[in-house]
Structure 1
C-alpha cells in the first residue's frame, strides 16, 4: 500500500522542525522557515515532495482555519464599525496600486492588457501572513491592525470581480458585466444568509450541542460550520477564505466563540504551515539565481510602490502618521490570492512564463520581508516621524493633524484632570467612574466607530494618536494628574508612555496590560503602575477566599497592597513570597460561620433558651444571630429562646458545626 501523502507530510514537518530550530536561534521568524522548507523540498529544489497538489489542498485548509479564527475574533459588530474603512481604504489602495502598476508596466514594454493584469496581481496582499502576525502580536484591534484587516477584506472581495474580468481583458468573453451583476446579487444574498444564521440558527444549534456536554461533538459542529460556509461561498463563485471569514463572524455572535477559538487553534497552526510551504514550492531556484539582481531590484520597487500607495490611502482616511506608516508596513507584500489570479492569467495568455517566475520571486521576497517589517514597524514609524522634512511639508502635516483635534480647543481650562487613552471596555468603565465621581476627564481615541459611540453619550472625546505630541498638547497632558492607557497594542502603549514622559514627570500613568512580559518594559518607559488583567482577577478571587477564612479586612487589604506595591512579584515568582517577606503571617483558624435550620420537629433545644440548649457547653458553638420569619435577632442573650423554623447563624469549628447540624435533624418522638 502506498502512502505518498503521509510520506510528504513527514518530510515537510521534519524538515520544518530542523530549519525553524536554527531560525529560532538566529531570531528569524518561523514563516521564513516554512518558505525555505518549500523551496528546498519542492519540485524546483530537491524534489522531495511528490504530491504537490495534495500539499496545496492542505494549505487551503490552513487558510480556511486562519480566516475562520480571525472572523471569530472580529465579530459582525466589529466589521460593521469599519465598513467605511473597508470600502474607501480598500478602494484607494487597490485602485491606486492597479493604476500605478499599470503605468509602470506599460513603460517597461508590456501591453496594456498585460500591464492592467499585473496591477491586479500587485494590488493583492497576503491575508494569511498579515493576519497571523497581527494575531500573534495582539494587534488585530489596534488602529493599524483594524485598517489592515479592512483593506484585506476588500481585497478578498475584489479578487472575484478580477477573476471574472480577466477573460474580458484577454478578449475571450463579452459578458463580464452581466456576470458581475449576477455575482453582486449572490454576494448580497450570501450576506443576508450570514446575518440570519448569526442571529438565529447557529446560536440555537450551538446551545443544543453544548448542553450535550460532549467536547467532541462541539469541535465537529464548529469545524462543520466552518467548512460548510466556506464550501457554500466557493459554490457561488466566491473564495473559500472569504467564506471561512464569514463563518467566523457567524460563530462570533454566539456565547461560545472563545471555546470555538481554543478548539480550532491547534488545527490552524498545523495546516497554515502547509500554506507557507506550498508558496515556497512554487519558486524556480534556477531562474531565481540567474536573475537575482533584477528580481531584488523589482521586489524593492514593488514593496516601495505598494507601501507608498497604502500610506497615501490611510492618510486620505484621516489617520495620524504612526498609524499610516504601520499600516503601510503591514500590507506592502503580494499575497496568496494573487497566485490564484496569476494561474487564471496564464490560462488566458495575460502573463508569460518568464514574467510569472519574476512575479513568484518578487512575491516570495515580499512575503519573507513582512515579518521583519511588522516586527520593527513601530521603531521605523518613530524614525520616519522624527526624520527631517522640508519646512513646508512639516507645516502642512502639522496643520492637517491640528485639524483633527480642533474639538479639544474648547477644553483650554483643563487642569488636574484625567486623560483616558482608548475607549474600549476598560476605557469606557473608567470614564463612567470618573463621571460619577465628578472628576474632569478627556478621552483620546483613534477608532471612528468608538468616537461616534462616545459622542452619542456626550463624552469629552477627541480623535487622535496619543503618541503624537500635538494630540498630547491639546489634551494638556502637562496639567493632567492621572493618565490611564487602556489599549491592547503593546508597542503603541510603550510609545505613548515614553512620549508623555517627555512632557510631564508628575502625571501618574496607569497602564493596563494582558501580558506579564510587558510589565517591566512599561515601568522602565515611565509608567507608575501596570495592572495585568489576570493578576487582578487572581487577587479578587483570593480576597474572597481570605474572607471565608475570617481574616480581618484590614489584613486582607494590607496583603493586597503589598502584592501591588511589589509589582505583583509574589504572583510572578514561582515560589511565591520569600521567607524574609515583610507581609503579615496569615494565622487562619479552623473556624467558620454557618447557617443551620431548626425545622425537624420537637427536639431538645426548641423552646429553650440559648443557655439551656447547651450549644456552647456541649458543642462549642456560639450563636451569632437568629432569623425568625423576615426578622433578624442580632442581640443574642443567654435567655434568648430558640423556636421552631428558626435559622441559626452560628460560629465554631467545622466538626462541631457538623455535629450540631446532625443533632438538629434528629426527631424525638
Structure 2
C-alpha cells in the first residue's frame, strides 16, 4: 500500500471540509470567512465527530503562506496614491477609532483580570475592522454609491496601513516585554525609512522591468513573476527584521501602480482564495469550544465593547472631521466588527508565545458574532440617526450644522504652502535615498571591493567614488533643483521675502554638504574627509549640467512609472472611429475657465463647435452621456468626440480664462459656505431667487434655505424669500455680508 504523507491527507481534509461548509454558507447567504472558521473547528483536534487533522504544525506553515497571499492581494487593491486621495476626514476617523479601541481593548483586558500583554494585544485585535466583511455587506445592501460608503473605504485604507504599523510595534513590544518609548520610536522610524526606500526603488525598477518583459509574458509567466516578486520582498522584509506579511503588502502596493495591476490581481485571486481558505480554516482549528464556553462572559463583554466602541469612535471622528451627524453615524455603524487583520495580530501573539491560550479563540468568537451583526448595524444606522436627531437639543443641532458647514470651506493653497511642502517632500525623499546608498555602500559594497578586489585605502577610495556617482544626482536635486519655480518666483517678486528664500537655499546646500560628510566619515578620518569633500564639491560644480540631465532622466522615468496606470487608462479611452476622422479626447477644466459653472445647454457645444460631450469624470464619479442640464466644474475631465479641427477649437475655448475683475484680479477671493438672514427691511424680501440677483451680486450659489423650520436643499429658482429665512450660500464672504447689510430705501 502506498504511503500518503500526513500533509497531503490534512490538506485534503481541510479543503474538503471547507468546500462542503462554504457551500452551505453560500446557500444561507452568510460570509464565507465564517464558514471556513467553522470548517476548521469541525476538523480540528477538539471535536471528534469528524476525522481530524494529524499534524497541526504543517498546517500552520500553509496558514502563514495564506497570510502572505492575503496581504499581497490587499496591497494590490491598496495603492499609496489611494491613501493620498482619501483625504483628511477618513484619516481623522480612522486614527480616532484606532486610538480609542486600543485604549478600550487594553482597559477591558485589565478589568477582566488579564495580563498586560494580553490586554495590549486585545487592543490591537479590536482596533482594525474587516475590509472583506464590510465590502461584502455594502454589496448585498446596495449602499456602495452612498456618501458614507466612500468615507468608510477611506477609513479601511488608513486602517490597513495602521495595522501594518501595529504588527511592527507589537512584535517589538513582545520581544522587549516592556513599553520602551525609544525602542518604539526607533521601530516606527525604521519602518518609515524602509517603506520609502522600497516604494521608491520598486516604482523605479519594477514597472520598467514588467514593461520591457511584457512581450515574453503570458498569463502563466506573469503569475509566476508576480509571486516571485512577492516572496523576494517577503525575504527582504524578514532579513531587516519585519514580518513577512509586511513584505507581501509592500510588493502588492508597488505592483498596484503598474499597468499590469488588474491582470495580476485577477491571476492571483485564485491562489489567494486557496491559501486564504487554508488560513481561515487554521484559525478554526485552533478554537477550543470548551474554552469559548468558559470565557462566554469575557466574549460578551468584548463584543459589546467592539460594537459600541467602534460605532461611537468613528461617529465622533466623523463629527470632528465635519462630516455631519447622519454620515458620521452611518460610517460608525458600518465598521463595528473585527476580521482578517485581527486574526493575524492574534496569530502573532501565539507565534511569539506572549499571549495566553484563551485570547485567540476569544478573538475568533468575537469576530464571528460581529460578522453576523454587521448587516443589521448598517440597516439600523438611519433609524438611529432619526432617534438621535429627535432627542438632540436644537442648539446642539445648529452648532453641529454650523461646524459641518465651516469644515467644508474651500480654500486655495498659498505659494508659501506649495513651496514649503515641496521642500519638505524633497528633503525627506532625497535624505532617505542617500542614507540608503551610504548604508548599502558601507555594509555591502566596501566589503566586496576590499575583500575581493583592492584592499586598503585605495579600496575605500573606489567605494567612495562609486557611491558618490550614485548620490550625485540626488545631491544636485537637494541643493539646486527647484520643483516649484513658479511659486518661488512669485514669492521672490516680493522683496520682503527674498532674504528668507536665500536662507532656505543655503540651508538646502548645507544639508547636501552634510550628506557628503556623512559618506566620507564612513571611510576616512576627519582631515581627509574635509579635503576630499572640497574636491567633491568642485567636481559637482564642474559636472553640474551632466548631473542635472541624469537626474531629470531618473525623475522622468519614476514619474512615468508612477502614473503609467492612469496614462494607460487615458490612452484606452482615446479611440478613432473609421471611416470618420473623429476620435475621443479628454480635457481637464482649469479653475478659471469660461466654461466653469455653465451647463452643456448654455455652452451649446454641438451648435458652436460640432462636438459631443460623451463623459464627464468628477473625482471618483463618472457621468456617462451627461444631460443638457449637467454643469461643468473646475477639475472636471470631459471626454469629447470630434475631429482634430473641432477638438483644437474647443480646447482653446476651454482653456480661455474669464476676464479679470476691475481690481486687476490679482487676488484670489475666498470661497466659503455662509449663511444670510433675510430681515424685515432686506433688499431680498418678497423676491424670488431669480429676481434677487444673488448669483451675480455674491459670485455665489444658494445651496439651501431654512424656511419655517423646514430645510430645502438646492431650492427652485422661483422660490420667494420671506422674513426670517436663512439662506446658505457658497460664495465670497465679504460679498454675502455686503448683500445682507443692504436695506430697502425708506418710504416717504
TM-score, normalised by the number of residues in structure 1:
0.57
User: Of the candidates 20, 30, 33, which is equivalent to residue 32 of structure 2?
Assistant: 30
Q: Is the 8 A contact 1:329 1:373 kept in 2?
A: no
With 389-398 and 22-31 compared, the bigger mean Cα shift is at 389-398
Separation in structure 2 between the aligned mates of residue 209 and residue 45 of structure 1, nearest angstrom: 51
User: Of the candidates 326, 330, 337, which is equivalent to residue 331 of structure 2?
Assistant: 326
Shift of 1:138: 9.8
> Which residue of structure 2 lines up, in the alignment, with residue 242 of structure 1?
246
> Which residue of structure 2 lines up, in the alignment, with residue 223 of structure 1?
227
Task: Describe the shift of the 1:65–1:459 C-alpha distance in structure 2 as closer, same or farther (beyond 3 A).
Answer: farther
Shift of 1:421: 12
2:674 paired with 1:479: no
Q: Number of paired residues?
A: 446
Separation in structure 1 between the aligned mates of residue 291 and residue 705 of structure 2, nearest angstrom: 51
2:258 paired with 1:254: yes
> Once the two structures are superposed, what CA deviation does each residue of 1:103-147 show, in whole Å capped at 9, x if it has no partner?
344444456666455434433445665577779989598321121
> Which residue of structure 2 lines up, in the alignment, with residue 340 of structure 1?
347
2:387 paired with 1:382: no
Paired residue secondary structure (1:319)? coil
Task: Describe the shift of the 1:291–1:158 C-alpha distance in structure 2 as closer, same or farther (beyond 3 A).
Answer: closer
> Which residue of structure 2 lines up, in the alignment, with residue 53 of structure 1?
57
Task: Describe the shift of the 1:49–1:265 C-alpha distance in structure 2 as closer, same or farther (beyond 3 A).
Answer: same
Separation in structure 2 between the aligned mates of residue 30 and residue 360 of structure 1, nearest angstrom: 20
Separation in structure 2 between the aligned mates of residue 135 and residue 150 of structure 1, nearest angstrom: 21
Separation in structure 2 between the aligned mates of residue 74 and residue 86 of structure 1, nearest angstrom: 15
Q: Is the 8 A contact 1:72 1:248 kept in 2?
A: yes
With 321-330 and 71-80 compared, the bigger mean Cα shift is at 321-330
Q: Is the 8 A contact 1:299 1:362 kept in 2?
A: no
Separation in structure 2 between the aligned mates of residue 459 and residue 270 of structure 1, nearest angstrom: 55
> Which residue of structure 2 lines up, in the alignment, with residue 289 of structure 1?
293
Separation in structure 2 between the aligned mates of residue 156 and residue 79 of structure 1, nearest angstrom: 14
Separation in structure 2 between the aligned mates of residue 227 and residue 134 of structure 1, nearest angstrom: 32
Q: Is the 8 A contact 1:442 1:475 kept in 2?
A: no
Paired residue secondary structure (1:479)? coil
Separation in structure 2 between the aligned mates of residue 236 and residue 371 of structure 1, nearest angstrom: 36
> Once the two structures are superposed, what CA deviation does each residue of 1:566-591 show, in whole Å capped at 9, x if it has no partner?
xxxxxxxxxxxxxxxxxxxxxxxxxx
Separation in structure 1 between the aligned mates of residue 59 and residue 43 of structure 2, nearest angstrom: 12
Shift of 1:360: 3.0
2:619 paired with 1:424: yes
Two-structure CA RMSD over aligned residues (Å):
4.4
Q: Is the 8 A contact 1:416 1:480 kept in 2?
A: no
Separation in structure 2 between the aligned mates of residue 7 and residue 83 of structure 1, nearest angstrom: 49
2:150 paired with 1:150: no
User: Of the candidates 92, 96, 101, which is equivalent to residue 92 of structure 1?
Assistant: 96
Shift of 1:266: 1.0
2:42 paired with 1:40: yes
Q: Is the 8 A contact 1:93 1:310 kept in 2?
A: yes
Q: Is the 8 A contact 1:85 1:150 kept in 2?
A: no
Shift of 1:37: 0.5
Separation in structure 2 between the aligned mates of residue 72 and residue 304 of structure 1, nearest angstrom: 32
Task: Describe the shift of the 1:301–1:191 C-alpha distance in structure 2 as closer, same or farther (beyond 3 A).
Answer: closer
> Once the two structures are superposed, what CA deviation does each residue of 1:346-367 show, in whole Å capped at 9, x if it has no partner?
53xxx5x4xx42x334322332
Task: Describe the shift of the 1:132–1:226 C-alpha distance in structure 2 as closer, same or farther (beyond 3 A).
Answer: farther
Paired residue secondary structure (2:41)? helix
Separation in structure 2 between the aligned mates of residue 377 and residue 121 of structure 1, nearest angstrom: 20
Shift of 1:213: 4.1
> Which residue of structure 1 lines up, in the alignment, with residue 79 of structure 2?
75
Q: Is the 8 A contact 1:98 1:122 kept in 2?
A: yes
Q: Is the 8 A contact 1:125 1:332 kept in 2?
A: yes
Shift of 1:183: 2.6
User: Of the candidates 294, 297, 315, which is equivalent to residue 311 of structure 1?
Assistant: 315
Gaps of 5+ in 1: 446-456, 482-669
Task: Describe the shift of the 1:292–1:182 C-alpha distance in structure 2 as closer, same or farther (beyond 3 A).
Answer: closer
Separation in structure 1 between the aligned mates of residue 704 and residue 57 of structure 2, nearest angstrom: 53
Shift of 1:195: 2.8
Larger-Rg structure: 1
> Once the two structures are superposed, what CA deviation does each residue of 1:62-112 show, in whole Å capped at 9, x if it has no partner?
333233233223322112234756764444223222323333444444566
Gaps of 5+ in 2: 411-596, 602-614, 637-667, 675-702, 719-748
Separation in structure 1 between the aligned mates of residue 302 and residue 600 of structure 2, nearest angstrom: 53
> Which residue of structure 1 lines up, in the alignment, with residue 414 of structure 2?
none
Separation in structure 1 between the aligned mates of residue 189 and residue 272 of structure 2, nearest angstrom: 32
Paired residue secondary structure (2:213)? helix
Separation in structure 2 between the aligned mates of residue 373 and residue 189 of structure 1, nearest angstrom: 40
Task: Describe the shift of the 1:76–1:388 C-alpha distance in structure 2 as closer, same or farther (beyond 3 A).
Answer: closer
> Once the two structures are superposed, what CA deviation does each residue of 1:483-509 show, in whole Å capped at 9, x if it has no partner?
xxxxxxxxxxxxxxxxxxxxxxxxxxx
2:173 paired with 1:165: yes
Separation in structure 2 between the aligned mates of residue 338 and residue 470 of structure 1, nearest angstrom: 50
Q: Is the 8 A contact 1:322 1:381 kept in 2?
A: no
Separation in structure 1 between the aligned mates of residue 705 and residue 57 of structure 2, nearest angstrom: 54
Task: Describe the shift of the 1:44–1:212 C-alpha distance in structure 2 as closer, same or farther (beyond 3 A).
Answer: same
> Which residue of structure 1 lines up, in the alignment, with residue 690 of structure 2?
none
Q: Is the 8 A contact 2:91 2:155 kept in 1?
A: no
Paired residue secondary structure (1:237)? coil
Separation in structure 2 between the aligned mates of residue 393 and residue 361 of structure 1, nearest angstrom: 44
> Which residue of structure 2 lines up, in the alignment, with residue 598 of structure 1?
none
> Which residue of structure 1 lines up, in the alignment, with residue 432 of structure 2?
none
> Once the two structures are superposed, what CA deviation does each residue of 1:222-259 show, in whole Å capped at 9, x if it has no partner?
11112222332233233333322221221122111111
Separation in structure 2 between the aligned mates of residue 13 and residue 261 of structure 1, nearest angstrom: 23
Separation in structure 2 between the aligned mates of residue 159 and residue 87 of structure 1, nearest angstrom: 19
